[in-house]
Amino acid sequence: MGSNPTPSASVLYMDLSFILKRVKGITLNSKEVKKGYLFFAIKGTRFDGHNFIREAEERGAYAVVVERPVSSKVPVIIVEDTRKALGKSAHEFFGKPSERLNVIGITGTNGKTTTTHLIEKILLEAGEKTGLIGTIYYRLGEKILGSGRTTPDQITWHRTLKEFYELGAKNVVAEISSHALDQYRVYPTRFEAVLFTNLSQDHLDYHKTMEDYFASKAKLFTEYESKVKIINADDTYGKRLLKITHGEIITYGKKGDLKILNFRTDFRGSALRIAFKGKEYEFSTNLIGDFQAYNLSAAIAYALWKGIEPDLIQRALKCVNVPGRFEVVHSDKFTVIIDYAHTPDAVENVLRTARKLSKGKLISVFGAGGNRDREKRPLMGKAAEKYSDLIILTSDNPRDEEPEKIIEDILDGISEKDKVIIEADRRKAIKKAIDMAKEGDMVAILGKGHEDYQEIKGVKYPFSDAQVVKEILGGDGCIGKD
Ligand code: ADP
């Protein structure tokens, strides 16, 4: 209807562009409202922003954006979907930064962090300033702009893109989680490229079913604009995605447009041979693990599509540092690796690789996060049992749950119970594994990767697997890094 907002309580349906020119700021947190701000009421899983209208008003909101009628002293703007409206507004409010950058979005259950780092490395090698948004941090080169959720909320997303742009970035490569897609946190970004790695069981506490999980991931390919879509054609869900998406598509995999011809991985690194558009290429890297064939292929597919010279890509991939992703932190008589794997599929992948690389026994140390997807716990136990000679079950981030209860859930999936030692104290569990390791063995510490805290009953205590290993064994823990 486009009528002017009045200071009295009124319900208006209007184009938000009009009001965005007049507000001082936008927020979805009623506590952050300042005079002249536009407040967006978002209905989350725990809280509903519609219950905080009074607080927003009291703090001086210029107007509030809602999905259902509320009574208020300030103008009320009703929209169909406040999350989408917030995305659109943040995009506009921060000057449409995604349109001035090449934004590359990567989604999938596993491989997002690794693939973002690979693409970042290639673009940096090509001399282009590139920002990175993901699980570990939001950073531009050495400069860390922040960290938080894998994919930030709408405001942080568009504001961070703006910051990257103002700092001279040409590209931003970002992990896009399924939660983020479901909640339209990156809406309405225009991507240069979107990539799909794979889909396996995770986050079923949130998504309930695999179908729902897949539907969220698929949104990046069906509801967002992008110049090219790069999809793993060896993955069952990747194949399904191919049926519902349009535009320029490049597949990778054993029979993909980018064809994986050969992949070898050993303790020192990996070598990949691929064919693309009638030519063959070889790449070598310090990264280890069978699954790296896919992460490398995804990144290479993007780079070749973009026209980056193959020898430059080869140079870039030689040495890549992805913290906490099959990170070798000790290698002497025996080897210790740290990995972020916290899903059954990821545990399976890491330990399969570790099994192959270990010349002696494989000792795995892990737990599972509290307050989250319980169904995955026995499956993680099962995957670990398949490859480990010894399993030390411990705590991950127990959050509000009892660590012993989580350990029992994992134990349910393990049939050979005599393979298992239970030590709920993570530090002691790591120490135990290291004390038991003999020449040629491999110790795999899983679940937390780069994290520098352990979350117990609402408190984040400082804790780093790498640091603990360093304290026990000494050394600088710096193998396989550039
Ligand atoms: P994400 O950011 O999607 O969680 P990461 O790149 O951090 O993915 O990898 C997490 C863990 O998942 C790795 O340490 C490894 O164990 C496993 N992993 C990585 N890439 C893949 C892949 N392409 N397929 C299966 N597992 C993978």
Q: What does the mean pLDDT of the chain come to?
A: 91
What's the length of the chain? 482
- Tell me whether residue 447 is annotated as binding: yes
Residue 335 Cβ < 6 Å to ligand 1: no
Please state whether 293 falls in left (phi above 0), alpha (psi between -120 and 50) or beta: alpha
Q: How far is the CA of 294 from the centre of ligand 1 (A)?
A: 10
Q: In angstroms, rounded to a whole number, what is the distance separating the alpha carbons of residues 402 and 395?
A: 9
Please state which architecture CATH assigns to domain 327-473: Alpha-Beta Complex (3.90)
Residue 203: predicted pLDDT: 61
Residue 107: predicted pLDDT: 97
Q: How far is the CA of 297 from the centre of ligand 1 (A)?
A: 14
Q: Calculate mean pLDDT across residues 207-235.
A: 93
Domains 16-91 and 327-473 share a fold: no
- Tell me whether residue 396 is annotated as binding: yes
Lowest mean pLDDT across 85-94, 221-230, 331-340, 458-467: 331-340
Residue 110 Cβ < 6 Å to ligand 1: yes
Whole-model pTM: value is 0.80
Residue 339 Cβ < 6 Å to ligand 1: yes
pLDDT digits (tens, 9 = 90+) for 276-295: 999 999 999 988 888 999 99
Q: Strand 226-232 and strand 191-196: pairing?
A: parallel
Q: How far from 379 is each of 326, 346, 367, 444, CA to CA, in Å?
A: 20, 11, 12, 17
Residue 52 Cβ < 6 Å to ligand 1: no
Residue 330: predicted pLDDT: 82
At which residue do the structure tokens 């890297």 appear? 285
pLDDT digits (tens, 9 = 90+) for 417-437: 999 999 999 999 999 999 999
Domain limits of the chain? 16-91, 95-318, 327-473
Q: How far is the CA of 340 from the centre of ligand 1 (A)?
A: 8
Structure tokens at 424: 């709920």
- Tell me whether residue 159 is annotated as binding: no
Residue 114 Cβ < 6 Å to ligand 1: yes
Residue 198 Cβ < 6 Å to ligand 1: yes
Q: How confident is the model at residue 136 (pLDDT cuts 50, 70, 90)?
A: confident
Q: Calculate mean pLDDT across residues 291-311.
A: 97
CATH 3.40.1190.10 fits 95-318, yes or no: yes
Q: How far from 145 is each of 159, 233, 315, 321, 438, CA to CA, in Å?
A: 11, 35, 27, 19, 42
Ligand 1 atom nearest to CA at 135: 2
Q: Which one is predicted more confidently, 16 or 166? A: 166
Q: How far is the CA of 353 from the centre of ligand 1 (A)?
A: 12
Residue 10: predicted pLDDT: 58
- Tell me whether residue 110 is annotated as binding: yes
CATH class of the region 16-91: alpha beta
Q: How confident is the model at residue 475 (pLDDT cuts 50, 70, 90)?
A: low
Q: Calculate mean pLDDT across residues 375-396.
A: 97
User: Phi first, then psi: what are they for 307, rounded to 5°?
Assistant: 90, 20
The DSSP secondary structure of 9-51, one letter per residue, reads S-EE---HHHHHTT-SEEES-GGG--TTEEEE--B-SS-BGGG
Residue 216 Cβ < 6 Å to ligand 1: no
Residue 479: predicted pLDDT: 43
- Tell me whether residue 352 is annotated as binding: no
Q: Which residue owns the Cα nearest ligand 1 atom 19?
A: 111
Residue 263 Cβ < 6 Å to ligand 1: no
pLDDT at 151 over 80: no
Q: How confident is the model at residue 482 (pLDDT cuts 50, 70, 90)?
A: very low
- Tell me whether residue 130 is annotated as binding: no
- Tell me whether residue 399 is annotated as binding: yes
pLDDT at 208 over 80: no
